[in-house]
């Protein structure tokens, strides 16, 4: 009886050790995947920022060119300025949407 109890305890310890080892391997794997997700999130945020600033920079150049253009009528200048403002607002909206989407996808 004592030997059976010792054998059972030994087998239990072996199984428990194997379970702990498997758990540790899976934990390392999951932590690696979380780190990968963080890298992807940061890259997505970086690209979103780049998109926003690139578009804003391009619009600023267009705005400067518009102000320098002397041959444009006031009506045309006003219309183009209005379209630029609309586009700036659209850029901000899309930037906010993308940033929120990234935040939502990574918090789930």
Q: Give the pLDDT score at 106.
A: 67
Q: Identify whether the C-beta of residue 44 lies closer than 8 Å to the C-beta of residue 79.
A: no
pLDDT of 39-61, one tens digit each?
Answer: 999 999 999 999 999 999 999 99
Residues 64-88 have a mean pLDDT of: 91
Whether pLDDT at 108 is above 70 = no
- Domain of residue 30 covers 2-107
pLDDT of 80-98, one tens digit each?
Answer: 999 999 999 999 999 999 9
Residues 21-39 have a mean pLDDT of: 95
Whether pLDDT at 4 is above 80 = no
Whether pLDDT at 70 is above 90 = no
pTM of the model: 0.69
Domain count, the chain: 1
Distance CA 67, CA 79 (A): 13
């Amino acid at each position: 009886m004592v030997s059976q109890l010792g054998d059972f305890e030994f087998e239990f310890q072996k199984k428990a050790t194997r379970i702990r080892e498997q758990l540790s391997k899976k934990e390392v794997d999951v932590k690696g995947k979380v780190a990968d997700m963080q890298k992807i999130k940061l890259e997505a945020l970086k690209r979103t920022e780049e998109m926003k600033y690139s578009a804003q920079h391009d619009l600023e150049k267009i705005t400067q060119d518009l102000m320098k253009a002397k041959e444009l009528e006031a009506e045309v200048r006003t219309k183009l300025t209005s379209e630029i403002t609309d586009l700036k607002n659209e850029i901000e909206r899309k930037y906010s949407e993308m940033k929120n989407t990234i935040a939502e996808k990574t918090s789930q």
